[in-house]
Amino acid sequence: MPSTPRPRVTFVTGNKHKLEEVVAILAAGAPLPVDFASSPVDLPELQGDPREIAVAKCRAAADALGGPAVVEDTSLCFTALGGLPGPYVKWFLKAVGPGGLERMLAGFEDKSATALCIFALSPGPGADPTLFVGETDGAIVPPRGPTDFGWDPVFEPGEGGGKTYAEMEKKDKNAISHRYRALAKLRAHLIERGGEL
């Protein structure tokens, strides 16, 4: 009797560093009952609440792919700025660089921030996505460490032993990151459901 093919889910990203992190985190622990692929589908840049953005992006990805899709939306929320730059951090980073992000808080005593990651999973076109949210609290500091991965040089997680994300070993960062926490929930969901999307 032929075996049933495993479900295949496409993670929508063109960022090789992000893909490496996601694969490393998902590969840890019990084997997943689904296969993951990746694709750099061009999705619209949306505005709004991070959760609403993740849902809309995931619906667009599932429609574009014609099948199961996972998208990620990451925010960096400065307490002093009422949660900004939030989901727009990519554009702030592009405009001012990591050092500019830190200088945005120059006039504020409160340097605290939350790194927020939302993974959205859709079983296919027309289906409502399920959200998996991870958060890591920390502070915005002057840039330290390699500058090859977004805002990592200016985010010092509270659990990072005084290091920025950029200064941490990948395995140590992956153990406490906002991305790890969201992916751990996604993994548990997939395992619990036996690969049923």
The pLDDT score that the predictor gives to residue 28 is 79
The pLDDT score that the predictor gives to residue 46 is 86
Q: Where are the domains of the chain?
A: 8-192
H/E stretch holding 93 reads: helix 89-103
- pLDDT of 71-126, one tens digit each? 999 999 999 999 999 999 999 999 999 999 999 999 999 999 999 999 999 999 99
| Token representation of residue 52 | 């609403």
Q: What is the DSSP letter of 168?
A: S
Q: Which fold has domain 8-192?
A: Maf protein (3.90.950)
92, HSE (Cβ side, Cα atoms, 13 Å)? 19
Nearest Cα neighbor of 117 from 38, 182, 166 is 182
Q: What is the DSSP letter of 131?
A: E
- pLDDT of 9-19, one tens digit each? 899 988 777 77
The pLDDT score that the predictor gives to residue 18 is 77
Mean per-residue pLDDT over the chain, rounded: 91
| Token representation of residue 112 | 């605290």
The pLDDT score that the predictor gives to residue 87 is 94
Look at strands 8-12 and 35-39 and give their pairing: parallel
